[in-house]
Copies of this chain bind each other. A is one copy, B any other.
Amino acid sequence: MKLLDIYAKMKGDLDAIEGQLARSVTSDHALLTDTSTHLLKAGGKRIRPVFVLLSGKFGTYELSVLERVAVPLELIHMASLVHDDVIDNAETRRGQLTVKSKWDNRIAMYTGDYIYGKALAIVTELENPQIHQILSGAMVQMCIGEMEQIRDFFNTKQSVRNYLLRIRRKTAILLAISCQLGAIASGADRKTANALYRFGYNVGMAFQIRDDLLDLLGTEKQIGKPPGSDIRQGNITLPVLLALRESANAEELQAEIDNIQSSNGAGETKRALNIIRKSAGIAIADKLATRYIAKAIEALAGLPNIPAKKNLTDIAHFVGKRNY
């Protein structure tokens, strides 16, 4: 099934979640409502709510319960984006002005804090402490991942393992628990919840590797921001690390990255991008993403063959081929 068809089938429930998202950030403070609504309207694929709902099909599917997991997960994702944009000094995301650029850094910081708080307030309406534990644990891991990203800025000597640990924390864990919590909230058994966790984790790893590839290979129109943004801000991703090892022009690439670093974000990334694009790093990263997708699909093997399983498989394949 195509991705659009999967979304179309889930439209009613996704619309309900969209409504909850909008209501959840409406407060008696007008500016916070504005900034949060601006963030919400910037859109996104709502992949975390989709994972929650599909995982909920493996237990007793109840929208009123699942939305109390799906909405907080999407809010936590949004809050992390608004704080990321402060760190990355990003002017646009998905082709829209960021909160930090439309308002300012301070407002972006508190908007993120507020959305984190709202996320927690909603999930605590479900009186299941295990869900609260999993969610707060994931938030801690995400913060560590963000700090690791700052620590590793412009560190071209970091290992591939280091990169993988970082994207695990930054991206994969939240997708993993989206599946896990969907299963737990619908009362699925532990084995099912764990299998779905592994599915989400491996899709998340593939997703971030693909995202990092897109930043190097995509056009500004495709990715909603100028290509090479990662390297400009010092985020050394997998294809770059590999190019620094594999490319015949590794020394030139290192010199270009040094230039970018010393120019404080004003540097030209064109030559660095050219070297990376021609290097073997692209194909190796691409292959690794494909391997994570295979692992994700393997994780579903023991689960019953309900339509949701087919949908998750299709989404995994889509993430594997992702070039939007």
Contacts and interface: CB of A to CB of B under 8 A. Distances in A.
B31 A110 contact: no
Interface string A88-117: 000000000000000001110111111011
Interface string A181-193: 0000000000000
Contact of A146 (B27, B110, B116, B136): B110
Interface residues of A, number: 44
Given A31-B147, A32-B144, A148-B29, A117 B136 contact: yes
A6 interface: no
Number of copies: 2
A143 interface: yes
A203 interface: no
B143 A106 contact: no
- At the interface, is chain A mostly helix, strand, loop or mixed? helix
A29 B149 CA distance: 11
Given A124-B132, A127-B129, A136-B121, A113 B146 contact: yes
Interface in A120-136: 120-121, 123-129, 132-133, 135-136
Contacts of A28: 144
Interface of A: 27-29, 31-32, 83, 86-87, 105-107, 109-114, 116-118, 120-121, 123-129, 132-133, 135-137, 139-140, 142-144, 146-148, 150-151
6 nearest A-B pairs in the assembled complex, by CB-CB distance: A120-B136, A117-B140, A127-B129, A114-B143, A117-B139, A124-B132
